[in-house]
Structure 1
Amino acid sequence: MALSWTRELDEYPVGGQRRKFLFMAVLASLICSYEAAIAPAVPLLLPDLHMDLVTYGLITASALVVGALAGMVAGPLSDKLGRVRILIPLMGLTSILAFTMTLVDTPTHLVIVRCVLALVEGMAITTTAPLVRDYSPRMGRAQAFGFWAWGPVGANFISAGIASLTLPMFNNAWQSQFIIIGTLSLIASVVIALNIADLSPRLRAEVLETEKVVIENAEGAPPAKFSTLLTNPMVWAHVIGISAFLLLYLTVTGFGQLIITTTFHKSAAEASFIMAMFWVLNLTTLFLAGRWSDTLQLRRIFSLVFSVLSLVVMIYFATLLGDPNTSTVTLAITGAILGGAMGAAYSPWMANYSENSEDLDPRLQGLTWGIFYLVVRLASVALTIIAPIIVKQTGSWQTWIIVCVVGVAVFIVLMPFYKGPWTRAQLAATQAPVGDISSREDPVVTKR
Structure 2
Amino acid sequence: MTGRRPRIRLFRVCELDQYPDAGQRMRILSMAVLAVLIASYEGQIAPVVPLLLDDLDISLTTYGAVSATALVAGAIASMVGGRLTDTVGRVRLIVPLLMLTAGCCFLMTTVHSAGQLLAVRAVLSVVDGMAMAGTAPLVRDFSPRMGRAQAFGFWTWGPVGASFLAAAVASLTLPLFDDSWRSQFVIMGAVSLVLSVVIAFNIADLSPELRARIVQSERETLGRADHTKPTRALDLFAHRAIWAHVIGIASWLVLYVTLVVYGQTMLAESFELDAATASQIMAAFWTLNIFTLVLSGRISDRLQLRKPFCVGGTVGSVLLTAYLAGLVGRGDVSHLHIAITGALLGGVMGCAYGPWMANFSENAEDVDARLQGTAWGVFTFLTKAMGVVVLVAVPRVVESHGWRAWLIVCGCCMAVFVPASLLFRGPWRRARAAPAVTPQDTPASAATGD
State the TM-score, normalizing by the size of structure 2: 0.88
Who is 1:206 aligned against? 213
SS in 2 for 1:220: coil
- Give the alignment partner of residue 21 of structure 1, picking from 25, 28, 35: 28
| Contact 1:35/1:98 (8 A) holds in 2 | yes
- Give the alignment partner of residue 309 of structure 1, picking from 316, 328, 333: 316
| Contact 2:7/2:15 (8 A) holds in 1 | no
Who is 2:354 aligned against? 347
* Structure 2 CA distance for aligned equivalents of residues 47 and 264 of structure 1: 27
| Contact 2:288/2:347 (8 A) holds in 1 | yes
| Contact 2:90/2:134 (8 A) holds in 1 | yes
- Give the alignment partner of residue 416 of structure 1, picking from 411, 418, 422: 422
Mean Cα deviation higher: 174-183 or 136-145? 174-183
Whether 2:181 is the aligned partner of 1:178: answer no
Whether 2:255 is the aligned partner of 1:248: answer yes
| Contact 1:5/1:195 (8 A) holds in 2 | no
Who is 1:257 aligned against? 264
For this pair of structures, how many residues does the alignment match? Answer: 428
* Structure 1 CA distance for aligned equivalents of residues 111 and 157 of structure 2: 29
* Structure 1 CA distance for aligned equivalents of residues 82 and 287 of structure 2: 29
* Structure 2 CA distance for aligned equivalents of residues 52 and 312 of structure 1: 36
Q: How far 1:273 sits from its partner (Å)?
A: 3.1
Deviations 1:182-237 (A, max 9, x none): 23222211111110011110000001010121110114342222221133222121
* Structure 2 CA distance for aligned equivalents of residues 322 and 74 of structure 1: 44
Q: How far 1:54 sits from its partner (Å)?
A: 3.4
Mean Cα deviation higher: 84-93 or 380-389? 380-389
Structure with the greater alpha carbon radius of gyration: 2
Whether 2:366 is the aligned partner of 1:381: answer no
| Contact 1:39/1:256 (8 A) holds in 2 | no
* Structure 2 CA distance for aligned equivalents of residues 335 and 166 of structure 1: 29
Q: What does 1:250-329 align with in structure 2 at a 5 Å threshold?
A: 250-323=257-330, 327-329=334-336
Cα 1:251–1:157 shift into 2, 3 Å: same
RMSD: 2.4
Mean Cα deviation higher: 61-70 or 49-58? 49-58
SS in 2 for 1:115: helix
Whether 2:195 is the aligned partner of 1:188: answer yes
Who is 2:80 aligned against? 73
Who is 1:138 aligned against? 145
* Structure 2 CA distance for aligned equivalents of residues 344 and 192 of structure 1: 29
Cα 1:40–1:239 shift into 2, 3 Å: farther
- Give the alignment partner of residue 155 of structure 1, picking from 135, 154, 162: 162
Who is 2:100 aligned against? 93
State the TM-score, normalizing by the size of structure 1: 0.88
SS in 2 for 1:136: coil
Deviations 1:21-63 (A, max 9, x none): 1111111111111111123333554455444443333222111
Deviations 1:47-100 (A, max 9, x none): 554444433332221111111111110111111100001000110111221233
* Structure 2 CA distance for aligned equivalents of residues 169 and 428 of structure 1: 62
Whether 2:73 is the aligned partner of 1:34: answer no
SS in 2 for 1:116: helix
* Structure 1 CA distance for aligned equivalents of residues 114 and 276 of structure 2: 24
SS in 2 for 1:424: coil
* Structure 1 CA distance for aligned equivalents of residues 17 and 139 of structure 2: 17
SS in 2 for 1:209: strand
- For structure 1, the 5+ residue unaligned runs are 434-448
Identical columns (%): 51
* Structure 2 CA distance for aligned equivalents of residues 70 and 323 of structure 1: 43
Deviations 1:96-126 (A, max 9, x none): 2123334434333322221111011001110
| Contact 2:144/2:215 (8 A) holds in 1 | yes
